[in-house]
């Protein structure tokens, strides 16, 4: 696995793909990320910087690599090449004897504390009540006192509008309610970065709104860095500080939502937006 | 055709031994199944191979051969076990080898999303297995384990061939003493059938308890 | 050293002869199980309660009770009804009937897996039920379950040592006789175990090949 040379890391300004509010130190930095499944290249030498508290929407056709980018950041997939830094610390590598070596489980666990994720399929634990879904990891991973975790879980469930469902099981909830529990569950770990992977794609149309409104509130109230893979262009426009258009494992175009949606420069972006907005 | 009432006492005694062996070997089988089933999925090769060897060996040879070997051959290595120990050990290991496959397939059937959610919540693999994966897998294990317990119950009849006075042995004793062959063996079979029904009802109750309020349609 | 090579080589040919008996018993028992199992499956699906309920109950009863006791029952009771057969015949009937209750379940799963539309299409073409079943349904239902049936052949094979209890001279019986004559059980019993292991493993590999060949899942 190749590590970025210092020169590479220090020259973000010259690189179009690293467009980020200038002057800030990146919260997340992807450098030269490559990932292939067999012969299928999903991420192709991808660079991207995300500023602290920035809200970034990742759009593009399916298979263009946007979900995979979230998954390598969540350590669900190991990149074939390249490096990721979270707040300056390498994710898939760790310092040892003055150099960088592939990270071990302990380092990954330490780094993962920074990141939370919400999945397309919710992935709630079906054998646990809503409350236990939210308290399980804080109690058993972070070692928080059970009463404290309970109280905090109730606050979070209140925030997502599910205070009265604490004792229900996931199977008794609608998709939208399950997804809101999943958001509360991820937040309970107090991550600095939240990843949303097509969180409304599996929902019935009438419950999409309630989930988006929770994410909207989160974007306003919290100092969270948020990355969101979405097909909801309207929501991306209102939520994001920056929109990245993915195509074949690369970011072809990015910029503030107004510019990207109103005046896309790249031919493929134009074609994609036309197709999506027409449907 | 019916067996005179005074013989039921003997059969009942035998049935108690049968139930006892079934219960003890069942517990051993469950432990072996869990350990070997999980070990087969270990990322550590020697552990995996040990488990595979155990499973293939005990599934590849006959239960009776295993019992006889433990009973007749083991003493030659200076290890003399009581017939009861041989019965529990032999049958427990035998059924446990089949159970290992049940555990493995139940764990593998848990959707990948559950592993990913556990990882995203920063659970260690052991914690995720213990609190997220296994509790769900156990529910899926119950019906096949029910079948295995019936197989175990049936296999306990073999212990009569290593001098244990179980239900089958009592039946044979009565048979030689009275020669009322048909009613005796019919009564023995009915006893086994009733025990099997008992096992199944225990498992049904467990299934109901463990899946209460949940799993109606697993989180999609 | 406890292991006596001379003795082992002396009993090996006798055990190999007995292996032939064992394989014969397993094969004949398997054929009975295949045919009878299909009849049971058809009876249970017939929709005629007077047929499906008693057959289903009897199959459940046989499947839940030990083969060993069923063998005793046949061995001691059949002559009482004037049916004189050799222990071998009694043994393979016992094996066949017992495992027919398993193959019936396999057939049932295979038949259930054929979509209803196939029956309806055949009705629409005015095929007779028999013709539909033989030419349309069976050819679709059978191939997927062939490997499962193969696994039951192995299971029957591994249960043949039980025939030793009714004096059939299969491997286990020969091993026991040899052992009791010399008081050396280790060698014959170990060889029997190894022979079982070898035959089971080879069969498992062959079934795996067959399975790949048919391109279907092992378990229905």
DSSP C64-129: HS-HHHHHHHHHHHGGGGT----HHHHHHHHHHHHHHHHHHHHHHHHHHTS-HHHHHHHHHTT--H
Angle between helices C171-182 and C186-214 (to 10 degrees): 160
**C-alpha–C-alpha distance, residues B27 and C134, integer Å:** 46
**C-alpha–C-alpha distance, residues A100 and B199, integer Å:** 58
Strand partners, A131: none
Q: Is residue A84 domain-resident?
A: no
Banded model confidence at residue A19, pLDDT cuts 50, 70, 90: low
Of B76, B181, B197, the CB nearest to C2: B76
A172–chain B Cβ distance below 8 A for any pair: yes
The distance in angstroms from the start CA to the end CA of chain C is 48
Give the domain CATH number at A225. 3.40.50.300
Banded model confidence at residue C130, pLDDT cuts 50, 70, 90: confident
Percentages of chain C per state (helix, strand, coil), in multiples of 5: 85, 0, 15
pLDDT at B179 over 90: no
Q: Is residue A6 domain-resident?
A: no
Q: Do residues A75 and A112 make contact, with C-beta atoms less than 8 angstroms apart?
A: yes
Q: Is residue A220 domain-resident?
A: yes
CA B138 to chain centre: 15
Banded model confidence at residue C201, pLDDT cuts 50, 70, 90: confident
pLDDT at A11: 37
- Cβ distance B219 to A127 less than 8 Å, yes or no, reads no
Q: Is residue A272 domain-resident?
A: yes
Chains touching chain A through at least 3 C-beta pairs below 8 angstroms are B
Instruction: Give the 3-state secondary structure of residue A13.
Output: coil
Q: Do residues C26 and C95 make contact, with C-beta atoms less than 8 angstroms apart?
A: yes
**C-alpha–C-alpha distance, residues A71 and A67, integer Å:** 6
Residue of A nearest to B133 (CA): A125
Rg (CA), chain C: 21
The whole-number average pLDDT for the span C56-76 is: 94
pLDDT at C220 over 60: no
Query: How far A132 CA sits from the closest chain B CA (Å)?
Result: 11
For chain B, the DSSP string reads: -PPPGGGHHHHHHHHHHHHHHHHHHHHHHHHHHHHHHHHTT-SSHHHHHHHHHHHHHHHHS-HHHHHHIIIIIGGGGT----HHHHHHHHHHHHHHHHHHHHHHHHHHTS-HHHHHHHHHTT--HHHHIIIIIHHHHHHHHHHHHHHHHHHHHHHGGGGGGGT---HHHHHHHHHHHH--HHHHHHHHHHHHHHHHHHHHHHHHHHHHHHTTTS-TT---
CA A218 to chain centre: 14
pLDDT at C50 over 90: yes
Q: Is residue A96 domain-resident?
A: no
Chain B residue numbers with beta carbons less than 8 Å from the beta carbon of A143 are none
Interface of B with C in 70-89 (CB under 8 A): 72-73, 76-77
Residue B188's alpha-carbon distances to A31, B83, B87, C160, in angstroms, are 74, 22, 20, 21
Domain count for chain A: 1
Provide, rounded to the nearest whole percent, the portion of chain A with pLDDT above 90: 76
Banded model confidence at residue B14, pLDDT cuts 50, 70, 90: very high
For C206-218, the DSSP string reads: HHHHHHHHHT--S
Domains, in order of start, for chain B: 5-210 (1.10.3720.10)
Continuous segment of H or E residues that includes residue C203: helix C186-214
How much is the ipTM here?
Answer: 0.88
Query: Per residue in A35-59, pLDDT tens?
Result: 999 999 999 999 999 999 999 999 9
Banded model confidence at residue A78, pLDDT cuts 50, 70, 90: very high
DSSP state of A29: E
pLDDT at A18: 53
Q: Do residues C104 and C59 make contact, with C-beta atoms less than 8 angstroms apart?
A: yes
The whole-number average pLDDT for the span A223-239 is: 92
**C-alpha–C-alpha distance, residues C198 and C217, integer Å:** 24
pLDDT at A7: 40
Q: In the CATH scheme, what architecture does the domain C5-214 have?
A: Orthogonal Bundle (1.10)
**C-alpha–C-alpha distance, residues B192 and B150, integer Å:** 10
Task: Check residues B120 and C11 and name the one with the higher pLDDT.
Answer: B120
Q: Is residue A66 domain-resident?
A: yes
The burial class, CB within 10 Å (0-12 / 13-18 / 19+), for B177 is exposed
pLDDT at A15: 41
pLDDT at C51 over 90: yes
Query: How far B175 CA sits from the closest chain A CA (Å)?
Result: 52
Ranges A3-7, B130-134, B182-186: which has the least confidence: A3-7
Of B111, B124, B220, the CB nearest to A202: B220
Instruction: Give the 3-state secondary structure of residue A164.
Output: helix
In this structure, chain A runs to a length of 279
DSSP state of C183: T
Q: Is residue A217 domain-resident?
A: yes
**In chain C, where the domains are located:** 5-214
- Cβ distance B117 to A123 less than 8 Å, yes or no, reads yes
Q: Do residues A54 and A77 make contact, with C-beta atoms less than 8 angstroms apart?
A: no
- Cβ distance A171 to B219 less than 8 Å, yes or no, reads yes
Query: How far C111 CA sits from the closest chain B CA (Å)?
Result: 21
Q: Is residue A28 domain-resident?
A: no
pLDDT at A22: 59
Q: Do residues A90 and A32 make contact, with C-beta atoms less than 8 angstroms apart?
A: no
pLDDT at C56 over 90: yes
Neighbour-count burial for B73-111, b at 16+ CB within 10 Å, e otherwise: bbeeeeeeeeebebbbbbbbbbbbbbbbbbbbebbeebe
The whole-number average pLDDT for the span B70-78 is: 83
Chain B residue numbers with beta carbons less than 8 Å from the beta carbon of A141 are 121-124, 127
pLDDT at A198 over 90: yes
Ranges A169-173, B19-23, B42-46, C4-8: which has the least confidence: C4-8
pLDDT at B123: 95
pLDDT at C205 over 90: no
What mean pLDDT value characterizes chain A? 88
Expressed as residue numbers, the domain containing A248 is 52-75+105-114+191-278
Strand partners, A46: A33
Strand partners, B202: none
Banded model confidence at residue B212, pLDDT cuts 50, 70, 90: low
Of B121, B123, B214, the CB nearest to A126: B214
pLDDT at C212 over 80: no
- Cβ distance B65 to C196 less than 8 Å, yes or no, reads yes
pLDDT at B122: 94
DSSP state of C24: H
Query: Per residue in A262-276, pLDDT tens?
Result: 999 999 999 999 998
**C-alpha–C-alpha distance, residues B92 and B85, integer Å:** 10
pLDDT at B79: 83
The whole-number average pLDDT for the span C89-93 is: 94
Task: Check residues A97 and B31 and name the one with the higher pLDDT.
Answer: B31
Tally the C-alpha atoms within 13 A of residue A133's C-alpha that lie toward its C-beta. Answer: 33
**Test mutation, B15, B61, B152, B186, chain C, max C CBs within 10 A:** B61
Residues 6+ apart with CB under 8 A from B186: B3, C73
B59–chain C Cβ distance below 8 A for any pair: yes
Nearest partner of C11 among C174, C155, C134, C152, judged by Cα: C174
Query: Per residue in B124-149, pLDDT tens?
Result: 999 999 999 999 999 999 999 999 99
Banded model confidence at residue A3, pLDDT cuts 50, 70, 90: very low
Segments of chain A assigned E as strands: 28-37, 40-50, 55-59, 81-86, 89-90, 93-96, 99-102, 115-118, 193-197, 225-229, 242-247, 250-255
pLDDT at B92 over 80: yes
Q: Do residues A66 and A43 make contact, with C-beta atoms less than 8 angstroms apart?
A: no
pLDDT at C7: 87
pLDDT at C85 over 90: no
Cβ atoms within 10 Å of A38's Cβ, excluding its own? 5
């Amino acid at each position: 696995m190749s590590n970025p040379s210092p020169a590479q890391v220090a020259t973000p300004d010259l690189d179009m793909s690293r467009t980020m509010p200038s002057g800030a130190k990146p919260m997340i930095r992807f450098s030269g990320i490559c990932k292939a499944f067999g012969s299928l290249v999903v991420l192709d030498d991808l660079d991207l910087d995300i500023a602290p508290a920035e809200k970034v929407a990742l759009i593009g056709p399916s298979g263009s690599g946007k979900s995979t980018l979230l998954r390598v950041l969540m350590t669900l997939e190991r990149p074939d090449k390249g490096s990721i830094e979270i707040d300056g610390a390498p994710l898939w590598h760790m310092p040892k004897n003055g150099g960088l070596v592939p990270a071990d489980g302990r380092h990954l666990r330490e780094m993962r504390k920074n990141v939370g994720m919400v999945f397309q399929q919710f992935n709630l634990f079906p054998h646990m009540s809503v409350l236990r879904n939210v308290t399980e990891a804080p109690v058993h991973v972070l070692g928080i006192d059970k009463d404290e975790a309970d109280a905090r879980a109730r606050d979070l469930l209140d925030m997502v509008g599910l205070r009265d469902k604490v004792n229900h099981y996931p199977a008794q909830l609608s998709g939208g309610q399950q997804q809101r529990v999943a958001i509360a569950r991820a937040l309970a770990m107090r991550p600095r970065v939240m990843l949303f992977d097509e969180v409304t794609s599996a929902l019935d149309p009438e419950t999409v709104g309630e989930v988006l409104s929770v994410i909207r509130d989160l974007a306003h109230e919290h100092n969270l860095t948020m990355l969101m893979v979405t097909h909801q262009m309207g929501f991306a426009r209102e939520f994001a500080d920056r929109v990245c258009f993915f195509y074949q494992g690369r970011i072809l175009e990015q910029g503030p939502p107004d510019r990207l949606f109103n005046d896309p420069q790249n031919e493929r972006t134009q074609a994609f937006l036309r197709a999506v907005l027409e449907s | 055709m019916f067996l005179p009432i005074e013989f039921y006492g003997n059969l009942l005694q035998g049935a108690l031994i049968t139930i006892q062996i079934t219960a003890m070997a069942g517990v051993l089988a469950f432990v072996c199944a869990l350990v070997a089933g999980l070990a087969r999925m270990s990322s550590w090769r020697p552990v995996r191979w040990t488990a595979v060897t155990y499973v293939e060996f005990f599934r590849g040879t006959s239960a009776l051969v295993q019992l006889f070997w433990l009973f007749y051959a083991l003493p030659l290595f200076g290890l003399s076990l009581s017939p009861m120990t041989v019965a529990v050990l032999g049958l427990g290991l035998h059924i446990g080898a089949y159970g290992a496959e049940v555990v493995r397939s139940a764990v593998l059937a848990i959707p990948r999303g559950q592993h990913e959610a556990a990882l995203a919540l920063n659970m260690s693999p052991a914690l995720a297995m213990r609190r997220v994966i296994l509790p769900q897998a156990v529910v899926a294990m119950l019906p096949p384990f029910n079948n295995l317990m019936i197989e175990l119950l049936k296999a306990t009849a073999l212990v009569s061939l290593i001098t244990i006075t179980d239900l089958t042995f009592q039946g044979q004793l009565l048979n030689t003493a009275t020669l009322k062959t048909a009613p005796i063996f019919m009564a023995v079979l009915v006893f086994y059938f009733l025990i099997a029904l008992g096992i199944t009802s225990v498992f049904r109750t467990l299934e109901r308890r463990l899946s209460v309020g949940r799993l109606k349609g697993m989180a999609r | 050293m406890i292991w006596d090579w001379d003795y082992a080589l002396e009993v090996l040919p006798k055990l190999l002869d007995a292996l032939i008996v064992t394989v014969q018993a397993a094969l004949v028992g398997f054929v009975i199980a295949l045919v009878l199992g299909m009849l049971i499956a058809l009876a249970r699906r017939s929709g005629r309660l007077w047929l499906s309920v008693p057959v289903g109950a009897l199959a459940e009863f046989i499947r839940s009770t030990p083969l060993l006791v069923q063998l005793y029952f046949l061995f001691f009771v059949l002559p009482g009804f004037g049916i004189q057969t050799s222990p071998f015949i009694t043994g393979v009937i016992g094996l066949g009937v017992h495992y027919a209750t398993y193959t019936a379940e396999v057939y049932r799963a295979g038949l259930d897996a054929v979509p209803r539309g196939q029956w309806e299409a055949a009705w629409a073409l005015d095929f007779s039920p028999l013709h539909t079943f033989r030419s349309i349904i069976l050819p679709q239902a059978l191939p997927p379950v062939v490997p499962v049936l193969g696994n039951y052949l192995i299971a029957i094979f591994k249960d043949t040592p039980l025939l030793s209890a009714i004096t059939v001279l299969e491997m286990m019986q020969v091993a026991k006789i040899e052992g009791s004559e010399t008081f050396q059980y280790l060698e014959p019993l170990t060889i029997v175990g190894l022979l079982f292991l070898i035959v089971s493993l080879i069969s498992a590999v062959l079934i795996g090949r067959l399975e790949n060949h048919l391109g279907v899942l092992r378990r229905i």
